Amino acid sequence: MKIFLHNRSMLPGLVLTLIFTGAAIVSLVWVPYDTTVLNIAERMKSPSLQHPFGTDQFGRDILSMIMVGARTSIAVALVAVGIGMLAGVPLGLAAAARKGSLLDEVIMRMNDLVFAFPSLLIAVMITAVFGASALNAIIAIGIFNIPVFARLTRGAALTLWSREYIMAARVAGKGPARISVEHILPNVTNLLIVQGTIQFSLGILAEAGLSYVGLGAQPPTASWGRMLADSQTMISLAPHLALFPGLAILLTVLGLNLMGDGLRDVLDPKLRRSRS
């Protein structure tokens, strides 16, 4: 625990992440103002004591919108990381267990193929077929996460397969599937946690980008990217409309990245000394 708090990036990262997940959780039960109620009389107010971040073009409180938007961002990115891990990790384990086999080759080539489709293009295709929704964003980002986790798992698992204790497990008569689950998986978990944090932050950026161009969350679902898109035409009249949602994205992603760096330093003792 001490190492955790003494790490230079861990503490600020953790604080920022807690603020935004906290805001998302609190928004489930309470927000300063109801974001579904329009109040034209109060529209485009600059930040004040009543509305710390001001109000938007429909008179909605921006602080409340950001709290509700945090929910969308976090939910989309979290599920997308989940998809990537649930599909990618078993694929990576299987490929490593059967290194050089047809299975390995097929899995890795499929990964290469998916890698050629940036999540934006996957989202473009899904939207062209099914129309835009937050679900699209989840699927598009999730699909792009699969090869990330598959490659990482395979690479890490391959080095583990040459270790003596794996040899011992084989001598003891354990099959490749059992070894993968009992011995390989626990030893790649640290790496997966670190990469998970990074993909989580990339997912939040991707969700914001997709919602900004209209391929992600649709109104009335509050989303940071959507708020930025709506603010664009009014940016010269009311810069605060664009300022706060953008800062929310920046700080959340920054927090997650710092936490990821901190986790990497803490969880990988080899790096603790060599990195400045």
Partner 1 sequence: MLQYFLKRLLSLGLSLVAASVVIFLALEVVPGDPAAYMLGVNAQEDTLNALREQLGLNGTILQRYLSWAGGLLVGDFGTSYTYRTPVSELIGERLWVSLPLALYALTLSTLIAFPAGIWAASRRGSYADAGVMGVTQLGVAIPNFWFAMLMVLVFAINLRWFSAGGFPGWEDGFFAGMKALTLPAIALALPQASILTRVMRSSLLDTLGEDFIRSARAKGLTRGQAMWRHALRNALIPVLTIMGLQFSFLLAGAIIIENVFFLPGLGRLVFQAISSRDLIVVESVVMLLVFAVIVVNFAVDLAYALVDPRLRRRR
Evaluate the omega torsion of the peptide bond into residue 12 and state whether it is cis, within 30 degrees of 0. no
Site string for partner 1, 128-167 (x = CB under 8 A): xx--------------------------------------
State the minimum distance, in angstroms, from the CB of residue 101 to partner 1: 18
The count of chain residues that interact with partner 1, using the rule CB under 8 A, is 38
Per CB under 8 A, does 11 bind partner 1?
no
Nearer to partner 1, 248 or 266 (CB): 248
| Contact of 160 with 183, CB cutoff 8 Å | yes
- Binding string to partner 1 for residues 83 to 122, with x set by CB under 8 A, is what? --------------------------x--xx--xxx-xx-
Question: What sign for the dihedral angle of Cα 130, 134, 138, 140?
Answer: positive
- Minimum Å distance from CB 250 to partner 1? 5
Query: Between residues 18 and 37, which has the closer beta carbon with respect to partner 1?
Result: 18
Residues 250, 256: Cα–Cα separation, whole Å = 10
Residues near 204 by Cβ (< 8 Å), separated by ≥ 6?
73, 74, 76, 77, 249, 252, 253, 256
> Can you give the binding site for partner 1, defined by CB under 8 A?
109, 112-113, 116-118, 120-121, 124-125, 127-129, 201, 205, 208-209, 212-214, 225, 228, 231-232, 235-236, 239, 242, 245-246, 249-251, 253-254, 257-258, 276
